[in-house]
């Protein structure tokens, strides 16, 4: 689960999924795509590693 910071709302729908279509139809799609990629990468930088160690008995 990622952490939403102030300002992240413009990149997310209410269900938490990412918006790949720019909010303004005149906005450059390639620029928006790069902003969303960078935003998604910021999620990865802020998440702790998802490693689980299970012990089999």
pTM of the model: 0.66
Q: Determine the Cα angle at 9 with ends 38 and 47, to 5°.
A: 50
pLDDT tens per residue across all 57 residues of the chain: 456 677 788 898 888 889 999 989 999 999 999 999 998 888 887 765 554 555 555
Specify the pLDDT at position 9.
85
Whether 36 contacts 11, CB under 8 Å: yes
What span, in angstroms and rounded, lies between the C-alpha atoms of 14 and 27? 21
């Amino acid at each position: 689960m990622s952490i939403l910071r102030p300002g992240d709302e413009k990149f997310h729908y209410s269900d938490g999924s990412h918006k790949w279509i720019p909010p303004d139809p005149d906005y450059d799609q390639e620029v928006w795509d790069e902003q969303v990629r960078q935003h998604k990468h910021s999620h990865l930088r802020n998440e702790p590693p998802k490693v689980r160690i299970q012990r089999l008995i």
